Amino acid sequence: MIISPAYAQATGGGDPGFIGFLPIILMFVLLYFLMIRPQMKRAKEQKQMIESLQKGDEVITSGGVLGRITRLGDAYVSVEIAPETEISVQRAAVQTILPKGTLKSLQ
């Protein structure tokens, strides 16, 4: 006989158990610390900033409009963008609170 018969080899061990899932678990932990946690932190800071809005604050809206808050409501704020010109925007549309006096320095 020129070709020898092939026999099945015995398996190396048993069930890999926890070690088999370790790379998947590490990927989820890495995903949490690199993506989910920073996003939750930014959302929390944005919520606190929106809740702390006051009359007279100088703000930038999400549309890029700069102005001073003249009235506050539960869901909307009135922003003065020019003398005697006001617009109403949702509270969530306020993106940034500027330091006092920023609008005067831009004019």
| CATH class assigned to 54-107 | mainly beta
Strand order in the sheet with 85-90: 85-90, 76-82, 66-72, 58-61, 94-98
Residue 59, SS3 per DSSP: strand
pLDDT tens profile 54-81: 999 999 999 999 999 999 999 999 999 9
Q: Rg of the Cα trace of the chain?
A: 30
Q: Where are the domains of the chain?
A: 22-52, 54-107
Nearest to 97 by CA among 38, 44, 41, 51: 51
pLDDT tens profile 9-52: 665 555 667 788 888 999 999 999 999 999 999 999 999 999 99
pLDDT at 9: 67
